[in-house]
Amino acid sequence: MKKEITETTISFQRSIKSHSIPPLLILISVLPGSFLSHFSAGLVNVALPDLSIVFQVSLSFSQWVVTGYLLAVMLFLPIMGKVADMIGKKKIHYAGYVVFGVGVILSAVSPTLYFLLVARVLQGIGAAMLQAVNMAIITENYPKEKRGKALGLIGASVGVGGLLGPPAGGILIHWFSWDVLFWIQIPLVLLAFVLSIYFVPNDVGTKKNSFDVVGAFLFGVGIISIVYVLNQIGEGITDSTYLLIGAIGIISLILFSFWVKKFPEPFINMTMFSHPFIRTGLIIIVFSFMATFSTMVVIPFYLRGVLELSSTLTGVLLMSYPLLLALIGPISGALSDKIGSFKVVIIGMVLMIFSLIGLGTLSTTSSLFTVSVFLCLLGVSMGILTSPNYNLVMSHLPLSETGSMGGNIALFRNLGMTLGTALGVTFMNFFANGSITKWMTSTNKENTDLVMIGFHSLFLLLACFISLMMARLIWIAYKYQEASIASEEMEGVK
């Protein structure tokens, strides 16, 4: 009872503080951070060959400019979510723009690749600060009946940022030097910082506990080791050393799981995941982003290597996914506000299964219309699924945990992206008997049949994953409803 009163008091105080600020302005202040933090990751990816030439290093070394950024984001997401709950979300949010902006400027003026790598890590820390609190700010300051639509716009900005980055980077690097990729981000960072200062409501931390250094260290070692190994495997690089690094990562995470159960105020509070809807929602985040990013990695090889389309037409087809994601996301969020998040999530998962099965049936003679239909359906399904799933997770939390869970949601989302990229490339490299890139650039494509088997197998595997997650969600909803009915009957007896 005391906890419920405390949560109600916190909610009332925050509603007073944010009452004078229109919710739309709060949303506009948060959206740039969601977009930029994902846009910047893909923007630089296409410039890696140019960076290798400019700084006279190997491509595998320049790859760390992207990998270092992603690792920094994943490592600092739960840290910043925890700190936001301790000191306040607004402080972390506008400080995130500062750290991100400084990282961007330092990246643009980098004299060496080592300097650029450090600057990108700093930029990744800023991105983690933004991602960790954006959904929590919306959850706490938006009316419940409009929250789904707002979270839909957050989800759309994440998807559009991540998938517009590569084509935008390709255009810019074609016409300008590599440093322009960073300079163009500065105006939006400055504008977003000003909006954040004026229109994100003030809040105070609800937790004043000590920080779990040991837990953070074990988590960091585990995440960095595993993501590093996945990244190398995804690039087609295999070595016995990676087995040792992967083992260190797994052992660290196992130790972390034991540690958080004993430490009074752990780095990640596992009790947040006690509700079955929260656990399932987070797993759905991983698998849905894994499915879509595997698709975005593999489809270009099919379009250019099998159908022999131009890079321009391939880019246009791939743009259908982020475009529909951006259009459908807010509509889906508004729909979830009216009929409930669970129903909308199920609709999105059904459509995603159909799109993945459809992509898994493509052949060497499939028409562009057929390909575009299934890619568009994937964009629609992700737009329908994402924000209601976020809302489903956040709605089962007390306000004092929203910052930490916002960071965890972003962490699971980035984990899904990383797993999807590694899975897609590894799958295709395996079936191409070497490197899928070498196969695509070869004039004599002898292994096309094997490549198509890998292509079909990947999409059918992804469809099975999503089907299992949908079945789990339906089962939990059934058991949850059954438990609620039983509880009501017991109350009636009393």
- Tens digits of per-residue pLDDT, 424-465? 777 777 777 666 666 766 666 667 788 888 888 999 999 999
Type of residue found at 413: R
Q: How far apart are CA 97 and CA 351, in angstroms?
A: 36
Q: How far apart are CA 41 and CA 46, in angstroms?
A: 10
pLDDT of residue 123: 93
- Tens digits of per-residue pLDDT, 341-364? 888 899 999 999 999 999 999 988
Helix extents (H) in 142-239: 144-175, 180-183, 186-199, 213-234
Q: Which domains does the chain have, with CATH numbers?
A: 21-205 (1.20.1250.20), 212-266 (no CATH), 269-486 (1.20.1250.20)
| Cα–Cα distances in angstroms (integers) from residue 102 to residues 63, 106, 111, 117, 123, in the given order | 21, 6, 16, 13, 7
| Cα–Cα distances in angstroms (integers) from residue 471 to residues 69, 421, 485, in the given order | 35, 25, 21
- C-alpha dihedral (472, 474, 478, 479), degrees to nearest 10: 20
Nearest to 68 by CA among 145, 127, 23, 5: 127
Nearest to 68 by CA among 111, 107, 95: 107
Instruction: For residue 378, name the pLDDT band (cuts at 50, 70, 90).
Output: very high
pTM assigned to the model: 0.73
* Residue 270 scores a pLDDT above 90: no
| Cα–Cα distances in angstroms (integers) from residue 439 to residues 108, 442, 454, 455, in the given order | 35, 5, 13, 14
Mean local confidence (pLDDT), 279-292: 89
Instruction: For residue 226, name the pLDDT band (cuts at 50, 70, 90).
Output: confident
Q: Determine which of 81-90, 203-212, 407-416 has the lowest per-residue pLDDT on average.
A: 203-212
Type of residue found at 27: L
* Residue 384 scores a pLDDT above 80: yes
Q: Determine which of 118-132, 185-199, 391-405 has the lowest per-residue pLDDT on average.
A: 391-405
- Quote the Cα angle for 78-83-87, to 5°: 155
For the chain, the residue count is: 494
Q: How far apart are CA 178 and CA 43, in angstroms?
A: 10
How many C-beta atoms surround the C-beta of residue 62 within 10 A? 23
